[in-house]
């Protein structure tokens, strides 16, 4: 390169084995990366005034607009990051569970360190562990050089096991469930340390081997005797006699050839072509990509074309409505995500989003919760409320948490409205996992949205209503008592906030 430019600064350097890592271009044209749990960072968004203070997280940067933001937070010191054909993100992590499906706006379990107030951490998707517990690198195999049985499986480096582990996935509502597959390879040398795995243009998996007798950062910090910095290598793993790719220069390829490469069976070519088209984009590409995106919704080329249009913010209102009506839930999902990326839309598409809260696909409903939290031009509350009313979401292991994550920022200014809505719909509390999501929301409202006196005044109005049924009233009272307890009020202090007729009931619940 002829010039050097600093585009982001503020990443921590306290812990050298958890530095920013695993840079990868996402399906939306953003550059994604990760940071570790014991490496505090303070990064200012170059395009705005916000400064992000974080440790373990997936972050992303958008070169055209110079925007920086956090995508999801949690886990440990992750060193493997990839996405599948639907654009869903997965990471491999060390020490704790090794495989995670990371939904945008989610906050996941941490190896250590404090959680932000009112956080309900999400779990991993791991159901089975592999040998030992140190992982680095992750690639989802999507090419044609290996047999069909390898497609869609996740390959991870196991540092302490000196091997490459393989996981397979099955759907679990809006998320996934992991299980073990057979190891891809095992080394006969304990120095083998596979820190990165990638698919090459020939469809083979390439493995970067750190190759050292010492596996942990403590030894590197101490400069231990025998520490080796000279013998790292890269392996190419071929199936039978897979030929090597011939020399090429995609940077000189005409655009029609790049568009054609979006249909290639090897994801390396598809992603490379998409990246170059992103860099060379102009409006003449829009009708070409619209035709490709609408041609066969099940083909990978359709998703890559759609990702280009979303990443460039080039969805016309008519075509946007078309993809929101697609038979393919992955396409509808990205139609919703496009609204979240823009932060605003027109009235017709906004109404369509509200209609989609009853969509049959949990993927679409999950994305609605995420997109609602990113809206700045329209009110997100009707979408989030409609998602809560749809009690199908209560059966999902991810959606309720993401609804909570995206309704929580509304609490300081709209806490009364949120509690009034929940009181109007007692069936929500009954459906959502023994009212856990309702209690999360109510506790957030009561902790930062209302004073104890306001909480009690609202409840007393409910008690005074002759039409209030007993279960609803008791449910409201229980929630208030629990929320006051969350604020640190003792039993006698709680009772003092109520009038004399309610105090015996309060004391009975609070005892």
pLDDT digits (tens, 9 = 90+) for 305-317: 999 999 999 999 9
Please compute the mean of the pLDDT values over residues 178-185 and round it to a whole number.
98
Write out the two tokens for 503: 């105090």
Please choose, from the candidates 348, 349, 264, the residue with its C-alpha nearest in 3D space to the C-alpha of residue 337. 349
pLDDT score, position 432:
80
Bridge-based pairing of strands 233-237 and 67-75 is unpaired
Confidence of residue 494 (pLDDT cuts 50, 70, 90): low
Confidence of residue 472 (pLDDT cuts 50, 70, 90): low
Please compute the mean of the pLDDT values over residues 180-201 and round it to a whole number.
96
Confidence of residue 459 (pLDDT cuts 50, 70, 90): low
Write out the two tokens for 46: 């170059």
Please choose, from the candidates 305, 201, 294, the residue with its C-alpha nearest in 3D space to the C-alpha of residue 260. 305
Sign of the torsion formed by the C-alpha atoms of 286, 287, 290 and 291: negative
Separation CA 491–CA 509 (nearest Å): 10
How confident is the model over 321-352, as pLDDT tens digits? 999 999 999 999 999 999 999 999 999 999 99
Residue 91 in contact with residue 33, Cβ under 8 Å? no
Give the Å distances, CA to CA, from 53 to 6, 57, 69, 112, 507: 19, 10, 11, 16, 42
Mean pLDDT of the chain: 90
Separation CA 358–CA 491 (nearest Å): 42
Question: Helices 399-407 & 436-448, crossing angle to 10 degrees?
Answer: 10
Q: Which of 109-118, 269-278, 388-397, 449-458 shows the lowest mean pLDDT across its residues?
A: 449-458
Of the two residues 180 and 434, the one the predictor is more confident about is 180
pLDDT score, position 130:
94
HEC per residue, 381-401: HHHHHHHHHCHHHHHCCCHHH
Separation CA 165–CA 167 (nearest Å): 7
pLDDT score, position 443:
83
Residues for the chain: how many in total? 511
Please choose, from the candidates 382, 405, 462, the residue with its C-alpha nearest in 3D space to the C-alpha of residue 72. 405
Please choose, from the candidates 391, 388, 357, 389, the residue with its C-alpha nearest in 3D space to the C-alpha of residue 371. 357
- CA angle 498-501-504, nearest 5°? 80
pLDDT score, position 332:
97
Of the two residues 431 and 62, the one the predictor is more confident about is 62
Please compute the mean of the pLDDT values over residues 140-160 and round it to a whole number.
97
Q: Answer whether residue 218 shows pLDDT above 90.
A: no
Of the two residues 284 and 510, the one the predictor is more confident about is 284
Bridge-based pairing of strands 107-110 and 67-75 is parallel
How confident is the model over 25-75, as pLDDT tens digits? 999 999 999 999 999 999 999 999 999 999 999 999 999 999 999 999 999
pLDDT score, position 493:
59
pLDDT score, position 271:
99
Confidence of residue 458 (pLDDT cuts 50, 70, 90): low
pLDDT score, position 235:
98
pLDDT score, position 16:
77
Q: Answer whether residue 126 shows pLDDT above 80.
A: yes
Separation CA 370–CA 399 (nearest Å): 9
Please compute the mean of the pLDDT values over residues 170-183 and round it to a whole number.
98
Please choose, from the candidates 487, 394, 508, 418, the residue with its C-alpha nearest in 3D space to the C-alpha of residue 117. 487
Please compute the mean of the pLDDT values over residues 383-391 and round it to a whole number.
97
Q: Answer whether residue 426 shows pLDDT above 90.
A: no
- Residue 175 CB contacts under 8 Å (≥ 6 apart), including other chains: 101, 103, 125, 396, 397, 398
pLDDT score, position 298:
75
Looking at the DSSP bridge assignments, the partners of residue 62 are 67
% of residues, the chain, pLDDT over 90: 72
Helix H or strand E segment including 73 = strand 67-75
Spacing of C-alpha 20 from chain mean position? 17
How confident is the model over 272-328, as pLDDT tens digits? 999 999 999 999 999 999 999 998 767 899 999 999 999 999 999 999 999 999 999
Of the two residues 229 and 87, the one the predictor is more confident about is 87
Q: Answer whether residue 480 shows pLDDT above 70.
A: no
pLDDT score, position 281:
96
pLDDT score, position 212:
83
Q: Any idea of the CA torsion for 270, 276, 279, 280, to the nearest 10 degrees? A: -110
Q: What count of other Cβ atoms lies within 10 Å of the Cβ of residue 489?
A: 17
CA distance from start to end of the chain: 70
Q: Answer whether residue 509 shows pLDDT above 60.
A: no
In angstroms, what is the C-alpha Rg of the chain? 25
Separation CA 216–CA 281 (nearest Å): 44
């Amino acid at each position: 390169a002829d010039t050097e430019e600093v585009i982001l600064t503020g990443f921590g350097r306290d812990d050298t084995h958890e530095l920013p890592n695993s840079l990868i271009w996402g399906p939306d044209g953003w550059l994604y990366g990760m940071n570790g749990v014991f490496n505090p960072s303070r990064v200012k968004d170059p395009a705005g005034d916000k400064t992000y203070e974080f440790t373990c997280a997936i972050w992303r940067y958008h070169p055209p607009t110079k925007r920086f933001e956090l995508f999801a937070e949690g886990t440990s010191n992750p060193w493997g990051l990839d996405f599948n054909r639907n654009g869903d993100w997965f990471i491999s992590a060390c020490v704790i569970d090794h495989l995670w499906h990371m939904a945008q706006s989610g906050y996941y379990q941490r190896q250590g360190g404090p959680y932000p107030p009112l956080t309900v951490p999400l779990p991993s998707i791991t159901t089975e562990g592999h040998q030992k517990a140190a992982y680095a690198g992750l690639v989802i195999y999507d090419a044609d050089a290996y047999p069909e049985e390898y497609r869609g499986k996740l390959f991870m480096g196991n540092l302490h096991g000196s091997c490459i582990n393989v996981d397979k996935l099955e759907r679990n509502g809006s998320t996934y469930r992991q299980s073990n597959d057979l190891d891809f390879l095992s080394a006969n040398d304990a120095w083998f340390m596979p820190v990165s795995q990638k698919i090459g243009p020939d469809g083979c998996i390439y493995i970067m081997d750190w190759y050292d007798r010492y596996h942990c950062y403590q030894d590197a910090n101490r400069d231990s005797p025998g520490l080796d910095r000279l013998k790292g290598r890269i392996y190419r793993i071929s199936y039978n006699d897979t030929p090597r790719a011939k020399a090429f220069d995609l940077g000189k390829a005409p655009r029609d050839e790049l568009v054609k490469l979006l249909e290639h069976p090897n994801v390396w070519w598809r992603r490379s072509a998409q990246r170059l088209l992103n860099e060379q984009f102009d409006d003449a590409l829009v009708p070409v990509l619209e035709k490709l995106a609408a041609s066969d919704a099940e083909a990978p080329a359709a998703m890559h074309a759609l990702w280009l249009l979303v990443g460039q913010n080039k969805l016309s209102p008519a075509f946007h409505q078309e993809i929101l009506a697609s038979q393919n839930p992955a396409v509808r999902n990205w139609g919703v995500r496009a609204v979240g990326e823009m932060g605003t839309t027109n009235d017709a598409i906004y109404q369509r989003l509200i209609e989609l809260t009853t969509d049959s696909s949990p993927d679409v409903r999950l994305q609605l919760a995420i997109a609602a939290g990113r809206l700045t031009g329209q009110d997100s509350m009707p979408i989030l409320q409609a998602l809560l009313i749809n009690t199908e979401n209560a059966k999902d292991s991810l959606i309720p948490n993401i609804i909570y994550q995206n309704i929580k920022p509304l609490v300081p200014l709209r806490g009364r409205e949120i509690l009034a809505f929940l009181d109007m719909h007692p069936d929500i509390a009954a459906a959502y996992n023994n009212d856990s999501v309702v209690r999360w929301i109510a506790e957030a409202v009561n902790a930062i949205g209302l004073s104890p006196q306001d909480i009690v005044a609202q409840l007393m109005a409910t008690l005074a209503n002759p039409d209030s049924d007993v279960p609803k009233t008791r449910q409201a009272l229980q929630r208030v008592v629990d929320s006051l307890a969350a604020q640190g009020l003792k039993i006698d202090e709680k009772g003092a906030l109520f009038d004399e007729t309610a105090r015996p009931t309060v004391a009975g619940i609070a005892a």
